[in-house]
Structure formats: C-alpha cells, structure tokens
C-alpha cells in the first residue's frame, strides 16, 4: 500500500526484510558449523566403537534448547520441532549419509 502512505511503509518493510535475510544467513551458517562439529564427534564415536545414535544425549539437547527458548520467550514447542530436525540432520551426517 505504498501509494496511499507515501512510500515510508515500503522503505521500512525493505529494511526489515534485509535484516531478516541477514539473520537467515547467520542461522544457516551456524547450522553448517554445527553439522561440521557433529561430523567430528561422529568420527570419534566410530573410532571408539560407540553407536552413532545416543537417544539420551539427543533428549538432553532438546531439553536444553527448550529451556533456553523458555528463558528467551521464544515459542517452546516450535523450538522443539526445529531442534529435533537439527538433531536429525546432525545424526544424518554422522552416519555418513546426506542430512535428511
């Protein structure tokens, strides 16, 4: 509705969208870093003859993420879903395949 409001809305929308794009990039960069670390822990597990899947450890990661979400006022159930996905991706690279 820029025509009706003199263009200010559109400028602000553009600025906000740029900031969101930058955050998205940071999120993806961090996911990449997390997967690289997961790959290394996978190598260590394999050398030690330990199974890749550690359900107790995954549950702990989720609990910690939800705790942080609660402290920061971020929706907890959605955070849970996102972190299960990230944990699944990490397990995927540890198992040597592509992340699901």
Partner 1 sequence: MIIITRPDISDAELDHIRERVESVGLHTHLSRGEQRTIIGCIGDEARLAEVPLKSLAGVESVMPVLKPYKRASREFSVNRTVVRVGEHATIGGESITVIAGPCSVEGRDMLRDTAVAVREAGATVLRGGAFKPRSSPYSFQGLGREALGLLAEARVSEGLPVVTEVLDTRDVDLVAAHADMLQVGARNMQNFALLAELGRVQRPVLLKRGLSATITELLMAAEYIMAHGNANVVLCERGIRTFERATRNTLDVSAIPVLKRETHLPVIVDPSHAGGDADLVAPLAFAGIAAGADGLIVEVHPNPECALSDGDQSLTLPAFAAMMSRIGAFATAAGRSMATPARTPRSRAFAGTAA
CA dist 82 → 30, 36, 59, 65, 78 (Å):
14, 18, 13, 10, 6
Stretch that binds partner 1, among 15-23, 25-33, 37-45, 63-71 (CB under 8 A): 63-71
Any contact of residue 56 with partner 1 (CB under 8 A)?
Answer: yes
Binding residue (CB under 8 A) for partner 1 from 45, 46, 58, 99:
58
Any contact of residue 67 with partner 1 (CB under 8 A)?
Answer: yes
Residues 62, 84: contact at Cβ < 8 Å?
yes
Residue 23 vs 53, nearer CB to partner 1: 53
Other C-beta atoms closer than 10 Å to the C-beta of 38 total 20
């Amino acid at each position: 509705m820029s025509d009706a409001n003199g263009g200010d809305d559109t400028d602000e929308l553009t600025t906000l969208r740029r900031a969101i794009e930058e955050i998205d990039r940071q999120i993806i960069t961090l996911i990449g870093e997390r997967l690289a670390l997961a790959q290394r822990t996978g190598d260590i597990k394999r050398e030690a003859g330990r199974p890749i899947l550690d359900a107790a450890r995954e549950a702990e990661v989720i609990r910690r993420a939800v705790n942080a979400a609660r402290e920061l006022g971020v929706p907890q159930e959605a955070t849970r879903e996102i972190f299960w996905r990230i944990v699944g991706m990490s397990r995927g690279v540890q198992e040597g395949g592509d992340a699901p």
